[in-house]
Amino acid sequence: MTTYGYVRVSSKDQNEDRQIIALREAGVPEKNIYVEKKSGKDFDRPVYKKLLRRLKPNDVLVIKSIDRLGRNYTELQEEWRRITIEKEVDIVVLDMPLLDTRKATGDLTGRFISNLVLQILSYVSEVERDNIKQRQREGIAAAKARGVKFGRDALPKPEGLDSYIIAYKNEMISARKAAAALGISHTTFLRWVAQSSVLSQLTDDSCADDGDGGDNGVEDSENAA
């Protein structure tokens, strides 16, 4: 049986010393402590994967707190099952003594109790996430009712925009050059082009001019006759 320790911090700026000290005091050999600086949003972590390859049946994995192993409780339950059932490795969470698969209480094994506690934690975490989302929705609705506006203010359209749109539509200037001349981004210019009614107005005006010209021609001919 070999005892390993896993330490994780979310970024390079965070200090892992507190976790390492706790693992040492729990009897984890220094050489068996794996330290990783990466987010706990999933288990796609190189140091963690390396540690998993080292784990053998009857080994013990020690972590300071459950969130050092992972933050997504749905994935955490599956990972816990893989380690304890498939790999037959015990897990010890120092900050939560009930999460210790080695212990036995009466006729209930430590593994059963730990699995139950983990399921409860997962449920509580899910409920809290739903409550946070609900509070956010209610807060936004209340703010909107007070007239609070969300999102960025609309970018004011510069003078001469319509002229540049016409020039762009007539292939007299590129979108990038038009955007640069107007002092806006290329994507903003193209969005305004798509939203603009200038082209349709030009088409309508052109059709109207052609029709008027034809009628006048007939009337002039008749008058001339």
Residue 212 has pLDDT above 60, yes or no: no
pTM here is 0.55
Find the catalytic residue in 10, 39, 65, 196: 10
Active-site annotation holds for 10: yes
Evaluated on CA atoms 46, 47, 53, 56, the torsion sign reads: negative
**Per-residue pLDDT tens for 139-160?**
888 888 887 776 665 678 888 8
pLDDT at residue 92 is higher than 60: yes
Burial of 56 (0-12, 13-18, 19+ CB in 10 A): exposed
Please tell me the distance from the alpha carbon of residue 184 to that of residue 193, in angstroms, as a whole number.
13
Helix or strand or coil: residue 206? helix
Please give the C-alpha separations between residue 208 and each of 21, 162, 166, 173, in angstroms, as whole numbers.
Answer: 84, 20, 18, 27
Q: What CA–CA distance (Å, rounded) separates 176 from 6?
A: 52
What is the average per-residue pLDDT within 1-19? 88
Q: Does 151 fall in a domain?
A: no
> Is 19 a residue whose pLDDT tops 90?
yes
> What domain range includes position 166?
161-224
Domain's final residue, options 128, 145, 169: 128
**Residue 144, in any domain of the structure:** no
* Domain final position from 85, 104, 128: 128
Q: Indicate whether 117 and 174 sit together in one domain.
A: no
Residue 54 in domain: yes
Number of domains in the chain: 2
